[in-house]
Amino acid sequence: MATRKWTLTVGSDSVVVSADLAQASAPIRIDGEQTQYQVADARHDVERMMRLCADLIADPRLTEEEWDEHVSYEEIEEET
């Protein structure tokens, strides 16, 4: 199992998102807390996963324009 982590920034809020993208049933976590999503919901894709997580922490949901303007993410480490 290889859990990967990213820093996700939405506006002025930053969180740590983690998941094992190789496992469809693996939970997607934000700051260590399991979300209602699994990797399969993001189709094993990092950007789709970040969009799901950004929608959870942004109020209201982000438009495409707002996503480009207010959201960034980068991988921070990999655990084995």
The domains of the chain are located at 4-72
Q: Are 50 and 6 a contacting pair, CB within 8 Å?
A: yes
**Residue % of the chain over a pLDDT of 70:** 94
pLDDT above 70: residue 32? yes
**pTM for this model (two decimals):** 0.88
How buried is 63 (Cβ within 10 angstroms: 0-12 exposed, 13-18 middle, 19+ buried)?
A: exposed
Cα-based distances in Å from 73 to 8, 14, 70: 4, 9, 10
Arithmetic mean of pLDDT, 47-55: 94
Residue 79 scores a pLDDT above 70: no
Do residues 58 and 28 make contact, with C-beta atoms less than 8 angstroms apart?
no
pLDDT band at 64 (very low <50, low <70, confident <90, very high): confident
Question: Given this model, what pLDDT does residue 80 score?
Answer: 54
